Chain A
């Protein structure tokens, strides 16, 4: 076992609404949605038409560039509707589920007997290839290449996100099978929380390289972990996979079926009795009524965590890659003399111009009911790079990178580390920015530019 990597930089924002470790219910919704937007880099080709019957695991979409890559239906039923937007862009495929949940049978396989190529083709055929994300750029993995490693984060440091031990502690067999399968392709690295590892159920996982991390958010971001384990060079690629993706891969080999049922944490300051539900990706948010009351008026439903999730609204769906849903209040209230008051006890600030950081000593463990208020007007970057870098545990100058992205300067973006980051990795800088810029969007645009220019 490697020694613990301690990250000094970072910030744990005390947001209230961490979910209680309790499975509230299993939700198999009437509708599940498959959204091409969940898979960056996918050029979707529709393989079904309205009225078709599908089983869990039936191909629904394939990639136009690489037709071997398919996206499968998470549940059995009939295709209800193909939702298209402007210029006939494919937005979602809605499946009306039946209550039988029948699976397409892919046949049980023992990962130990398979070669790397056989594992790859099993994943492609089983519709689970899209759980692999390729870095740089965070796109669909390319089956033709062998990455230098596959990285898994078993740390979830975002506030109100899923507790790894609770959500995955009983999936050891599936996770182990997933590791066994993927390690046929290349070494699998799994990062654990150093403090919890000795007592965690997950410490039984073997066949992978174990890395122990200690630190504050974003220590759980796999990008941050990779930059400390084995930073990505321009000519290198790595793949990452989430824990639920890894478990799904394991179940494909153990049970021969496409089973993406997962425990999803429903939390956040505005969630009523935050807890876990067991559900499929593509679940409509309207299934969450018990957690937000009858009317989601003035609430924001986020698929993903509070820093890098997607605001999907009550008519949206749980994202394919997400295992947490955060519900927060829209902060549309004005605050009289907010910035001019000596103290703002009900607002959290990591900045020392407010005095919450000393309150932290007086009232340890205090959580704040945060809302979506921007707390100020957008400005040009005023504070220096160091102000942001103290929250980012990577060897990167965040604002130089963001400015290079803004300028569209490929050479500078390369130099300042665009290959190592995804927008989510700089989310904490965006949180802390007194100039209220959208730093993640800047990085996302930079990555899109890189993809265009490097193609």
Chain B
């Protein structure tokens, strides 16, 4: 049946697309040509699908939280299912846009390169809706996805060749191009055009409040529950999938257990955030207790799902410790010392990605020197 898609066939130019669907359905009957005659059963598809599954709890919680925040803001009462459905219908368009635009470009570029379609975008496309505000206009999202996939990945040669995390690049594109839609207090909770907001409801994220000091955060906490534990379980305004640390931790357990993401990066990122946060507490630069940094904003989601991207993080094992620490530390530095940006995680991962090759260069250079010393004795 596939004759016409094979080399020399009429529809050969479509072979990447056909292959993509075919290999999606079953593992192809390709055999090893040389070298190791048997191969492990794992492939990139399996690794990628695990990353997607790990993010499912955060996505489901995010959908529910969109509905719940809407209910809180408008004073309309909603049970768990109503809240979830409300959020589901709000988040679904984000997913449709993310996948249609992203996969469209991915298929087209694989077709141009004549390669098999990569499964990398399945993960990226799943993450992007989780790290944007629910109210982001769809055309903006489409533009950001297109920019990130083309200029963040395809121009470098596709999945595995990119320098920075594609999902983070999409978010950064939105953040710097349309700041009014990506920050402030009006974008995190969906409120319909004809709906009134409850008196006194600001819609600001705890992170934005924390910018005005711990008192502002604590007062808001008294007002509608942005204390530590609420932020931990996630019933706060924020980007779709980033709010619930519990849901993200569930994903982290799967990622660490399966070895898909590096526990070293996660651990050192937490250590970096606590270190700078603690230092800021000690020298009086910030009165936000350092533990709060772990549960506010995108820190948890970024640490677990974004910083650990195996392509853009540090490649060497010692490098992973340095890289993770750098990401965590930079995040809190930006949050505390830069009044312009309430959130620092996106930039921290961005910078971490940029620095990762340098860190690896450092690690491998040290390794080479140590090797040379050992060899000179041999």
List residues of A whose CB falls within 8 A of some B CB.
13, 15, 230-231, 233, 236, 300, 302, 306-311, 326, 328, 330-340, 344, 347-354, 356, 370-387, 389, 395, 397, 399-400, 415-417, 423, 427-428, 430-436, 438-441
Contacts and interface: CB of A to CB of B under 8 A. Distances in A.
Interface stretch (B36-44, B69-77, B181-189, B198-206): B36-44
B52 to A, nearest CB: 11
B317 A386 contact: yes
A356 B40 CA distance: 11
A379 B44 contact: yes
B39 A431 contact: yes
A389 B317 contact: yes
B36 A430 contact: yes
Contacts of A379: 43-44, 116, 118, 159-160
B116 A377 contact: yes
A375 B42 contact: yes
Contact of A438 (B23, B31, B34): B34
A337 B26 contact: yes
Contacts, number: 212
B51 to A, nearest CB: 10
Interface in B2-36: 19, 23, 25-36
The 9 closest A-B pairs by CB, nearest first: A376-B43, A380-B160, A338-B27, A347-B41, A351-B42, A440-B35, A349-B41, A335-B27, A332-B29
Contacts of A335: 26-27
Q: Max chain B CB contacts within 10 Å: which of A230, A334, A440?
A: A334
A398 B30 CA distance: 25
A342 B55 CA distance: 17
B40 A307 contact: no
Nearest to B314: A384
A99 B310 CA distance: 61
Interface centre among B43, B158, B313, B374 (most CB of A within 10 A): B43
A336 B29 CA distance: 11
Given A380-B157, A384-B262, 4 more contacts: A337-B25, A340-B45, A351-B41, A382-B47
Contacts of B25: 336-337
Interface string B55-68: 00000000000000
A52 B80 CA distance: 91
A375 B378 contact: no
A397 B375 contact: no
Given A230-B378, A423-B35, A336 B120 contact: no
Given A372-B38, A400-B364, A431-B38, A353 B50 contact: yes
A371 B38 contact: yes
B368 A415 contact: yes
B38 A330 contact: no
A375 B316 CA distance: 26
* Residue in B30, B40, B371, B378 whose Cβ sees the most chain A Cβ within 10 Å: B40
Residue of B23, B33, B35, B374 contacting most chain A CB atoms (<10 Å): B35
A397 B316 contact: yes
